């Protein structure tokens, strides 16, 4: 007999089913109750609560998969182990490889993992539709000659090979219902059983076939479904009507009695007229009265993020003010991917939550670490993969250790086999620091390398020509050796450790399968990596609730609800909920329609699928017993797309006359429940709602978070970085300011640049790369060594061969000092140094010629200035008396012993294009050479006696290529080279001193040229003694002013701009200061007269 219990949602169908079952149990009839898998737990609770132990002995509660298991257990026929998702993927890969040469349309795609996944989906669709490989072959023959026929031919080959492989070792759960129906038919298994089927909205083809067999064998089959009538009208209950009418037609065809359907009409769920009215609005809109009260609310939020915020805040209010429990509240949506912020928001509000969704294991910490290791072990070690491993908690490295390792790899450009050799370079790159100075930091980095790489090297070796067993053993040993489980467990919570155990068990299961599947079959490491990734991609891990009292968050079609008090239905936007639908697998909608015309029953987008989506929304909206909140967003979370509420929802709600509540109108106290939500709300209203902003700022101040509003205001204003507190400046600078001339120049270029570099020590990373035309370190070293060895006059006496030998010697010595391990430098690096040798030969020869005609003699090179230096720092102090000491190194000091005393000049080697600009000194720029000049002349140690300042000069130490034509003479080339090497700077306006530098004053070596009448040419860089004296006061005054401003915390961005000077264009901290707009604070570099 066929019986039906029909009714809309909440009319008590399940209650009626259980009442009838109680009566059957009282008659001692054998009862079978079938429910969906996701509803079985709740139904078991109901049965346990409502039935006595004696009654329960007559009741069997099953889902379709459990029903199949019971049939096989009693009737036999299923000796093989079940096919899990990992085995399914591995077998599909083997099946595709087996028939690959026979494929036509899909031969090229057959090697891709994406095609394997698509075929798995397609075969699953075939099996749910009851299409066997043989039936697929028949359909392919029917469509031969068409594009669909060619596609079906390839699929039939793959499907047939796959099914054959499955049947050798497994039974497929997707085939279980078909096999179970055969066994049940043979054994008449349903005879004598009274069957009730409840809570289903949809049945697959195989489930429907099993129900038909129940109808033939069982004395009674009762179907309970959400459907108010059995008319032929196309509405949201279309699928249910078609199914029930089909079952009734099947019963009639087999002369099986059909009772008149029991149609339940009384709403037993909704405890409020508005919620009951909403249910009637779907079927009887004319009978619906306008909604009143707060039990049904339509909420409009700016973004999907605010939707979740509203739900969390309202749940807190219900619990706090109306005595709800967390378990009374359910949050539903159509697609959980839209609400990835949900867990964060609920944690912010302190709500315990059960996330009713499984996550793919690929994104879990342990599998991610293992897969990354396999990727790194394929071929030459992969730096990006190794660094991802280092950053993982599974590696056992702290974030600081991982950061140092990554920096070292960047600086020394570590790639490939470099990882397998010990690290020996200076972590800071090329530097004159002795190895013992960086030994401790290098040892820490090397230990980090060994911790990551040594287990990886063993894995890499073990994967060579490995078969399945070798691969499984290698991965298992790697996880053990690397200590991944131990490292991930440290400091973790109990739920995290339980999740880790599930991850490890899943990995071990996969390794067991691969060992079993591929014994004796060898593959490359890359193939094993891809295969392992494919296997893991088929595993989804769920979570276990940590408490009984929790909010449920789930997708609306994947949860069975027992009339919760409050339901939040989120994301009811057009095209989102109800969803527009997509087709998975390899068939288009048109091809699915063609297949269905041939007798298949594949899901197709169209009227029926749209109505089914509307039914999903109906079920969600009718689930609440007391309160329902329907929300939609105006725009996407990124703000790049405008969204509209679902038109179907608006049509349903029209008779209820609901006015949307905009979340922006809700009061502050609604949103704020703790400090975290106060901060979040403050950020949301900042700049738009002054009164609420002030209220929240006062609240945070009272709670001890007073700094938060100020910080957020700075962020919201998008203003440049500001000054810092004087006490913080003092803590960073110490009790004495120790300044280098280059740092002083950096401060006056922009105080914020100095702050980042010298106070916070934020240094941009630089690779160990060398360009002889951009770096002067090697040139400085060679100049210093040659001058110290031969003296300024001795250089001119050297032959070309002796000069070249000296340059070669000191260049090699420099490389050995800077890079102790010669294996860490590239061939190109050494080639650049050889090119530098040729350039140095020209420059040093020019230098020797200048020495030969000059009366200035080099007194010292690389002269240290400042604390414990040969030259003492001048006595300077900030406004509050804080001492300022200068430190640095003078490249070269030359002396001239004149009739009226000694004169001193400072020489600086410059490999760049920097020019000395006198007019920039009052702005604090270009003071480096003058600082050294005045320090050496006023030196308390009298290292060079008591000389007078003769000037400062930049000695060019770079040469551009000279363009040579067919008619270019040697003299013109020499002239061009001499002009490029002419020193620049400022000199004392004293003819005797100047002729001591260059006898002819022809402008060959210094920037001075004299006419025959004794006047200087325009452009000669000569200045009076008075100017040199005034400059001393200006330079020292700038230094003391800088010290005063630093101690006051004045480090806000204020670059100096003008002419060619724009420090922001090359500043490494431009992304931090937010001071890059044209009208942002800056100092204008103007023209100043010498008198100024």
* Residues in Cβ contact with 894 at an 8 Å cutoff, skipping those fewer than 6 apart: 792, 854, 856, 857, 858, 859, 904, 905, 907
Short-list 508, 556, 553, 562, CA closest to 535: 508
Cβ distance 573 to 643 under 8 Å?
A: yes
Cβ distance 637 to 305 under 8 Å?
A: yes
Q: Decide: residue 398, CB within 10 A, 0-12 exposed, 13-18 middle, 19+ buried.
A: exposed
* Residues in Cβ contact with 339 at an 8 Å cutoff, skipping those fewer than 6 apart: 304, 307, 308, 333, 553, 570, 571
Give the three-state DSSP class for 840.
helix
Q: Decide: residue 216, CB within 10 A, 0-12 exposed, 13-18 middle, 19+ buried.
A: middle
**What is residue 33's predicted lDDT score, i.e. its pLDDT?**
96
Cβ distance 896 to 851 under 8 Å?
A: no
DSSP conformation class of 720: P
SS3 letters for 359-427?
EEHHHCHHHHHHHHHHHHHCCCCCHHHHHHHHHCHHHCCCHHHHHHHHHHHHHCCCCHHHHHCCCCCCC
Token pair, residue 563, equals 């009339």
Query: CA 841: distance to chain centroid?
Result: 51
DSSP conformation class of 925: -
Which residue is associated with the tokens 């949201």? Answer: 236
Helices marked H in 856-938: 928-937
Short-list 866, 847, 1005, CA closest to 932: 866
Distances (CA, A) of 15 to 97, 198, 220: 53, 10, 19
* Residues in Cβ contact with 490 at an 8 Å cutoff, skipping those fewer than 6 apart: none
CA distance 427 to 413: 12
Q: How many CB atoms lie within 10 A of CB 1001?
A: 19
DSSP symbols for 1041-1053: HHHHHHHTT----
Instruction: Identify the H or E element spanning 299.
Output: strand 296-303
* Residues in Cβ contact with 400 at an 8 Å cutoff, skipping those fewer than 6 apart: none
Cβ distance 844 to 795 under 8 Å?
A: yes
Q: What are phi and psi of 9, to 5 degrees?
A: -60, 135
Cα dihedral 998→1000→1002→1006 (10° resolution): 10
Token pair, residue 749, equals 């270029």
Q: What are phi and psi of 856, to 5 degrees?
A: -80, 135
CA distance 285 to 385: 60
CA distance 112 to 265: 54
Q: How many CB atoms lie within 10 A of CB 480?
A: 12
Q: What are phi and psi of 898, to 5 degrees?
A: -90, 175
CA distance 897 to 657: 103
**What is residue 912's predicted lDDT score, i.e. its pLDDT?**
62
**What is residue 951's predicted lDDT score, i.e. its pLDDT?**
96
Q: How many residues does the chain have?
A: 1092
Cβ distance 296 to 278 under 8 Å?
A: yes
State the CATH class of domain 2-79+176-264: alpha beta
For β-strands 1056-1057 and 1083-1084, DSSP reports them as parallel
Cis omega (within 30 of 0) for bond into 912: no
**What is residue 1091's predicted lDDT score, i.e. its pLDDT?**
45
SS3 letters for 316-327?
HHHHHHHCCCHH
Short-list 367, 361, 363, 417, CA closest to 529: 367
Distances (CA, A) of 868 to 246, 860, 873, 889, 936: 101, 16, 10, 12, 14
CATH numeric code, 273-356+550-666: 3.40.50.300
Short-list 1030, 948, 958, CA closest to 990: 948
Average pLDDT per consecutive 10 residues, the chain (1092 residues; last block may be shorter): 93 93 94 91 88 92 92 82 89 92 88 86 87 89 82 92 91 88 91 94 90 95 93 87 94 94 91 90 88 91 91 95 93 86 87 79 91 91 92 94 93 89 84 75 93 94 92 95 94 87 93 91 91 90 74 84 90 89 72 81 76 90 93 81 90 92 90 90 86 90 87 78 91 94 93 93 75 58 85 82 86 74 65 75 87 93 92 95 94 94 93 71 91 96 96 83 58 77 93 95 94 91 94 96 96 84 80 80 68 46
Distances (CA, A) of 533 to 166, 360, 372, 542: 21, 12, 10, 19
Token pair, residue 210, equals 């099993």
DSSP conformation class of 825: S
- Each residue of 89-108: b (16+ CB within 10 Å) or e? bbbbbebbeebbeebeebee
Short-list 82, 74, 81, CA closest to 186: 74
Short-list 371, 404, 684, CA closest to 507: 371
DSSP conformation class of 960: P
């Amino acid at each position: 007999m066929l019986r039906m219990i029909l009714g809309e949602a909440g009319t008590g169908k399940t209650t009626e089913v259980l009442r009838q079952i109680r009566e059957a149990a009282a008659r001692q009839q054998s009862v079978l109750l079938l429910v969906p898998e996701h509803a079985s737990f709740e139904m078991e609770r109901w049965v346990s609560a409502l039935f006595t132990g004696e009654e329960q002995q007559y009741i069997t509660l099953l889902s379709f998969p459990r029903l199949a298991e019971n049939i096989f257990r009693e009737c036999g026929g299923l000796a093989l182990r079940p096919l899990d998702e990992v085995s399914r993927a591995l077998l599909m890969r083997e099946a595709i490889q087996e028939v690959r040469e026979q494929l036509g349309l899909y031969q090229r795609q057959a090697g891709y993992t994406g095609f394997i996944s698509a075929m798995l989906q397609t075969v699953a669709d075939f099996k749910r539709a009851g299409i066997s490989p043989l039936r697929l072959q028949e359909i392919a023959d029917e469509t031969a000659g068409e594009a669909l026929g060619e596609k079906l031919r390839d699929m039939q080959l793959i499907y047939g090979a796959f099914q054959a492989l499955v049947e050798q070792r497994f039974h497929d759960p997707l085939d279980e219902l078909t096999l179970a129906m055969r066994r049940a038919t043979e054994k008449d298994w349903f005879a004598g059983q009274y069957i009730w089927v409840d809570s289903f909205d949809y049945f697959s083809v195989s489930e429907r076939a099993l129900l038909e067999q129940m109808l033939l064998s069982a004395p009674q089959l009762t179907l309970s479904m959400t459907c108010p009538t059995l008319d032929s009208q196309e509405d949201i209950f279309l699928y249910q009507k078609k199914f029930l009418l089909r079952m009734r037609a099947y019963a009639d065809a087999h002369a099986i009695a059909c009772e008149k359907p029991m149609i339940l009409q009384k709403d037993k769920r909704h405890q409020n007229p508005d919620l009951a009215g909403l249910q009637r609005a779907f079927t009887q809109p004319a009978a619906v009265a306008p909604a009143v009260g707060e039990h049904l609310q339509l909420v409009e939020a700016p973004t999907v993020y605010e939707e979740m915020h509203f739900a969390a805040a309202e749940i807190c209010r219900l619990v706090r003010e109306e005595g709800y429990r967390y378990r009374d509240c359910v949050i539903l949506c159509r697609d959980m991917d839209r609400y990835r912020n949900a867990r964060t928001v609920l944690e912010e509000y302190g709500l315990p939550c059960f996330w009713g969704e499984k996550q793919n294991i690929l994104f879990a910490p342990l599998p991610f670490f293992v897969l990354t290791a396999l990727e790194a072990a394929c071929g030459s070690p992969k730096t990006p993969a190794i660094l991802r491993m280092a950053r993982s908690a599974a590696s056992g490295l702290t974030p600081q250790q991982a950061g140092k390792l990554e920096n070292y790899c960047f600086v020394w450009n570590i790639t490939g086999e470099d990882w397998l050799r010990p690290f020996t370079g200076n972590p800071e790159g090329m530097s004159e620091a002795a190895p013992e100075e960086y030994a401790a930091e290098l040892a820490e980095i090397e230990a980090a390398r060994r911790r990551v790489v040594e287990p990886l090297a063993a894995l890499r070796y073990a994967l060579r020509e490995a078969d399945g067993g070798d691969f499984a053993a290698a991965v298992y040993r790697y996880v053990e050796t690397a200590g991944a489980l131990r490292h991930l467990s440290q400091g973790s919570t109990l739920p995290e450790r339980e999740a880790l155990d599930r991850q490890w068990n899943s990995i071990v299961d996969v390794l067991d399968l691969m060992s079993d599947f591929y014994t004796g079959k060898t593959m490359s490491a890359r193939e094993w990596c891809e295969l392992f990734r494919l296997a893991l991609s088929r595993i989804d891990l769920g979570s276990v609730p940590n408490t009984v009292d929790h909010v449920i968050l789930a997708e609306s079609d994947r949860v069975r609800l027992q009339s919760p008090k409050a339901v939040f239905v989120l994301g009811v936007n057009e095209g989102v909920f109800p969803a527009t639908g997509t087709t998975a697998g390899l068939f288009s909608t048109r091809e699915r329609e063609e297949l269905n015309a041939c007798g298949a029953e594949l899901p197709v987008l169209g009227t029926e699928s749209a109505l089914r989506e509307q039914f999903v929304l109906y079920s969600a909206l009718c689930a609440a017993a007391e309160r329902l909140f329907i929300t939609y967003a105006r725009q996407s979370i990124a703000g790049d797309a405008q969204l509209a509420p679902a038109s179907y929802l608006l049509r349903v709600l029209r008779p209820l006359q609901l006015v949307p509540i905009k979340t922006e109108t809700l009061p502050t106290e609604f949103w704020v429940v703790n400090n975290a939500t106060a901060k979040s709300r403050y950020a949301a209203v900042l700049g738009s709602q002054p009164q609420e902003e002030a209220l929240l700022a006062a609240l945070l101040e009272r709670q001890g978070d007073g700094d938060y509003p100020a910080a957020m205001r700075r962020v919201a204003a998008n203003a440049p970085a500001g000054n810092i507190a004087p006490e913080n400046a003092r803590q960073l600078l110490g009790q004495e300011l120790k300044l280098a001339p280059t740092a002083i120049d950096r401060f006056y270029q922009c105080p914020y640049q100095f702050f980042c570099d010298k106070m916070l020590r934020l240094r941009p990373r630089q690779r160990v790369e060398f360009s002889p035309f951009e770096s002067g370190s090697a040139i400085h070293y060679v100049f210093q060594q040659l001058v110290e060895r031969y003296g300024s006059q001795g250089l001119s006496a050297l032959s070309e061969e002796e000069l070249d030998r000296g340059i070669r010697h000191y260049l090699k010595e420099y490389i050995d000092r800077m890079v102790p391990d010669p294996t860490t430098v590239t061939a190109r690096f050494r080639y650049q140094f050889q090119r530098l040798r040729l350039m140095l030969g020209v420059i040093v020869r020019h230098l020797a010629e200048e020495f030969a005609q000059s009366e200035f003699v080099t007194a010292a090179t690389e002269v240290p200035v400042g604390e414990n230096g040969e030259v003492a720092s001048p006595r300077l102090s900030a406004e509050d008396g804080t001492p300022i000491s200068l430190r640095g190194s003078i490249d070269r000091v030359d002396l001239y012993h004149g009739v009226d005393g000694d004169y001193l000049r400072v020489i600086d080697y410059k490999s760049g294009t920097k020019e000395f600009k006198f007019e920039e000194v009052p702005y604090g720029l270009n003071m480096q050479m003058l600082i050294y000049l005045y320090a050496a002349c006023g030196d308390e140690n009298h290292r060079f006696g008591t000389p007078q300042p003769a000037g400062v000069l930049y000695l060019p130490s770079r040469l551009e290529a000279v363009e040579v034509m067919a008619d270019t003479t040697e003299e013109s080339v020499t002239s061009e080279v001499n002009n490029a090497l002419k020193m620049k700077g400022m000199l004392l306006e004293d003819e005797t001193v100047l002729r001591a530098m260059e006898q002819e004053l022809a402008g060959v070596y210094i920037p001075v040229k004299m006419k025959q009448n004794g006047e200087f040419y325009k452009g000669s860089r000569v200045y009076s003694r008075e100017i040199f004296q005034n400059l001393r006061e200006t330079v020292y005054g700038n230094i003391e002013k800088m010290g005063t401003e630093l101690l006051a915390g004045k480090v806000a961005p204020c670059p100096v701009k003008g002419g060619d000077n724009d420090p922001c264009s090359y500043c490494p901290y431009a992304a931090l200061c937010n001071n890059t707009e044209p009208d942002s604070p800056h100092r204008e570099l103007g023209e100043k007269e010498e008198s100024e």
